Amino acid sequence: MKKGLFSLLTVIISGALLLSACSQQSSTPAAEGNAASTTTTTTDQATTETSSGLTELLKATDISKLPELAQKRTDTVIVGLTDPSGAFTPYFQQSGYDGNVSSLLYSSLVTVDNSGVPIPDLAESFDISDDQLTYTFHLRKDSKFSDGSPLTADDVAFTWTILHDKAYDGGYDLLSAHIKGGEAYKEGKAKTIEGIKVIDPQTISVTLDKVNATALLTLGSEVLSKAYYGKDYKFGQLDYIKNLHATPVGNGPYKLEKFIPGQEVRFVANENYYKGKVKIEHFIYKTTEGDTFQFVETGEQDFGGFQATTDNIDRLKKIGFLNLQPYTASNYGYLQFNMEHETLKDKAVRQALTYGLDRKTIYVDSNQGAAAIANIPTPQSSWSYTEDGINPYNYDPEKAKQLLDEAGWKEGSDGIREKDGKKLKIHFIGSKKKGTDVFIAVAKENYAAIGVQLEAEQFADFNSQIAKFESGDFDLVSFSTPILTDPSDGVISFVNGEVKGYNNPKIKELYDKGLATNDIEARKAVYKELYQVINEDAPYIFTSYGKSVYAYNGRIEGFNLNPFRGLSTSIPEWTLK
């Protein structure tokens, strides 16, 4: 499972946070039905529409209703988070939820503004050569790690180097940036990476073998301390880093105070943060399962994410002390086929299962219109989005039956289709939540009507679902992506082997072509073709684009939703009235 670039705060529709690193490297699975990171959409947050008619920030109407429990917290904010695994080191995370934690512990060399334009973070500035092959980063002289040690170019070089180590098996694909000499280092043919040059303690340059449209953000991610994470480093040996996950040394706005699995993650302000110590001393992620509405209404938590249904928004408005911010996440939901299984290697079967599923009822109608059907691996807000030449796979049981007939699956005496003595059964795995319940109920009926038996398995926690997914013991799994910044983010899973059993050389060719130019119009043409190929191959049943609303305590000021980074860039600016 790939983790990717940015550690982005993400809010799932149930209200707990889900995080994932998101960037061109990753399509890290998130629990199905989740809105993507606390990142919003690439449209202006003040004009984002929901099914309820809420189109802009609605401020709390009666802050006096704030429960006493919340009033007593004068230096602490509490937010819900799905239980992370504890791997809080960037690049080595086990799930997007770990990234939710590390996004407060680490900063990046480069971030993006609300328009998606790269801007400096730990780097004070950066330069790109005329041939677009050499990137030079000028670090801030006041940058330090949380232990007080200085952050220098050597730390950046170390971070880039271990991501090329042959033992690195995490999800961050720095190799895709094609740093000169990177492959030679990975293969053990060189002691250092030729393209990385430490010019002085505050300056480092890196030279690529070829142009890469996403190189700046790929290179500009989190920085690890060489003194801390590199003291035991030997080429080909990275297991030692696992022992450091629980005691991270970062450079972000907060330090890890305590992690109690299944209960909470506690943070305390980092006095060495380069922007200065944040104004809210303590931040807590509550990982306890429960009713998010209840947690927010009683003041146990200060923030929640919900589907933007009329019922939800009406209920949130009545609470009185909550600010409501609508958004449409820059991600997509999907059902992934396991094409290592013989039955699903047949494109006709995958297409039949797509035609045979009433996605509108499952994802739109059941959510009071707080979603739109997806058919390609990019959000509607992306500059690459297109419907030209895209099959919408409208619900069509007769078409599904026709495809299965042609594929040799004939109806048996019990109504379930058979081929070569094998029944057409689909083993689905998903999270234990209302949206999954709706899917199972409708899908079982839909599929039974075309002669397919759906067997469903649900998991109460996301880590268990991921473990089952990694084992390969499934036919169909439900996920959503993290926030997608670049079009390449949404298609990397079809290239890097994450989609089990899927290997179309044309996809890899188009993926590389889409990164080989910085010309937006040329890239649009490439992604249009790429989406058409994926749409035809049907390695996923694309499900929906979710519409959500953030509800947060009206005493919080400085709340800002970056369309590409979400709350991770906003939390350090928060204050409490």
Q: pLDDT per residue over 61-94, tens digit each? A: 999 999 999 999 999 999 998 889 999 999 999 8
Which single residue is written with the structure tokens 């998903």? Answer: 430
User: Burial level of 346, CB count in 10 A (0-12/13-18/19+)?
Assistant: middle
Contact between 549 and 100 (Cβ < 8 Å)? no
List phi, psi (to 5°) of 544.
-160, 165
Domain 110-244: which topology? Dipeptide-binding Protein; domain 1 (3.90.76)
Q: Please list the ranges in the chain whose pLDDT falls under 50.
A: 1-27, 33-51
Q: What is the model's pLDDT at position 567?
A: 79
Task: Provide the phi-psi class of 408: left if phi over 0, else alpha when psi is between -120 and 50, else beta.
Answer: left
- 305: helix, strand or coil: strand
Q: What is the model's pLDDT at position 30?
A: 65
Q: How far apart are alpha carbons 3 and 9 in whole angstroms?
A: 13
Q: Which helix (H) or strand (E) covers residue 227, if one does?
A: helix 226-229
CA 320 to chain centre: 31
User: Kind of pairing, strands 110-112 and 118-120?
Assistant: antiparallel
Q: pLDDT per residue over 1-36, tens digit each? A: 333 333 333 333 333 343 333 333 444 566 654 433
Q: How far apart are alpha carbons 573 and 273 in whole angstroms?
A: 13
Q: How far apart are alpha carbons 322 and 58 in whole angstroms?
A: 9
Closest CA to 443 of 432, 454, 451: 454
Q: What is the model's pLDDT at position 146?
A: 98
Contact between 436 and 388 (Cβ < 8 Å)? no
Domain 333-546: which topology? Dipeptide-binding Protein; domain 3 (3.10.105)
Helix orientation angle between 520-537 and 505-515, rounded to the nearest 10 degrees: 160
What is the pTM for the complete model shown? Answer: 0.75
CA-to-CA separations, 141 to 148, 150, 177, 204, in angstroms, rounded: 13, 8, 27, 13
CATH 3.90.76.10 domain locations along the chain: 110-244
CATH 3.10.105.10 domain locations along the chain: 333-546
